[in-house]
């Protein structure tokens, strides 16, 4: 990791330089106005603009507690925030700070997982082989995943003759099969891998499958982070986790692809489900919608 001068060492100096303007930056409206002005100023605006420099100092200080919580350099977090601030959807968001904060939280999670697997954060975020970067044992150790499917559980009383890795392998295989299924209809495999990995990771933090689709659908930062239209993201959630409407309960549409695969429904059988394939194809992002 690249070392930077920590804002913690110059906290008072940064506050003195920014003065009242830093307080103004707390407002979503002020951040939006500044991002729009910097965008309209053209190339080089971020490098030479005093308010841009002040914004990045304020951002490093704002997210310093989050960085310390994850044992990260505050300026690394500020760099991640900067990337999100450049996105058109951040400027257009109702609350730009909310989008930036959510993206920073996801970045922290990516850094933690990358450190745990001894790989770069870029490989965790962008590799197309989901089984290669997905740490399945973490899913099994989380509290609520067993409510989704027994394959996520770790049984400490398992017989020595049984393979304790079997459940974890089933989960990783199911996730990889989802990527393959979506890619067969024209989806970008890397994009699907990123989205499905994020969904699987977030499942551990949600109390039930019933509200997982709605909670994740409202996570607007995902559109910015993965460059996927909101409509495609919502459709992917319904296809992978199942449609939450009660009228679909107990049906393949209500169960979702992940549960069907964990229940040992063959991938070849899913490939023959023309309704499912049509839904996946219809949800495929158009490049014109992503911006």
User: Contact, 174 vs 196, CB < 8 A?
Assistant: no
* pLDDT > 90 in the chain, percent: 23
d(CA 161, CA 171): 21
Of the pLDDT bands very low, low, confident and very high (cuts 50, 70, 90), residue 129 is very low
Q: Give residue 62's pLDDT.
A: 92
Q: Which residue has the higher pLDDT, 143 or 199?
A: 199
What phi and psi values does residue 10 have, to the nearest 5 degrees? -125, 35
d(CA 260, CA 49): 53
Q: Which residue has the higher pLDDT, 210 or 274?
A: 274
User: Contact, 165 vs 106, CB < 8 A?
Assistant: no
d(CA 207, CA 215): 11
* Residue 42 Rama label (left phi>0; alpha psi -120 to 50; beta): left
Average pLDDT, the chain: 75
Q: Give residue 116's pLDDT.
A: 53
What does 202-221 look like in DSSP terms, one character per residue? Answer: HHTTSS-STTHHHHHHT-TH
Q: Which of 192-196, 211-215, 235-239 has the lowest mean pLDDT?
A: 211-215
Six-digit token pair at 115?
């450190």
């Amino acid at each position: 990791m690249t070392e930077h001068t920590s804002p913690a060492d110059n906290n008072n100096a940064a506050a003195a330089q920014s003065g009242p303007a830093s307080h103004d930056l707390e407002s979503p409206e002020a951040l939006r106005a500044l991002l729009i002005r910097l965008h309209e100023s053209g190339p080089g605006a971020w490098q030479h603009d005093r308010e841009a420099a002040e914004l990045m100092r304020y951002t490093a200080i704002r997210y310093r507690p989050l960085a310390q919580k994850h044992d990260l350099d505050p300026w690394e977090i500020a760099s991640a925030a900067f990337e999100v601030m450049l996105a058109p959807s951040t400027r257009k968001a109702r609350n730009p700070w909310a989008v930036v904060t959510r993206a920073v939280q996801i970045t922290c999670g990516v850094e933690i997982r990358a450190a745990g697997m001894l790989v770069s954060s870029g490989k965790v975020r962008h590799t197309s082989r989901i089984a290669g970067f997905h740490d399945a044992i973490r899913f099994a150790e989380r509290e609520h995943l067993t409510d989704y499917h027994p394959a996520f559980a770790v049984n400490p009383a398992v017989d020595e003759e049984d393979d304790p890795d079997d459940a974890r392998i089933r989960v990783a295989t199911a996730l990889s099969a989802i990527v393959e299924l979506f890619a067969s209809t024209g989806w970008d495999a890397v994009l699907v891998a990123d989205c499905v990995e994020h969904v699987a990771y977030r499942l551990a933090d949600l109390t039930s499958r019933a509200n997982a689709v709605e909670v994740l659908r409202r996570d607007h930062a995902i559109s910015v982070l993965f460059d996927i239209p909101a409509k495609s993201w919502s459709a992917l959630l319904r296809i992978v986790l199942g449609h939450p409407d009660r009228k679909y309960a107990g049906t393949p549409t209500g169960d979702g692809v992940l549960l069907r695969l964990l229940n040992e429904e063959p991938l070849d059988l899913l490939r023959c489900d023309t309704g499912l394939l049509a839904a996946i194809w219809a949800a495929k992002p158009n490049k014109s919608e992503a911006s």
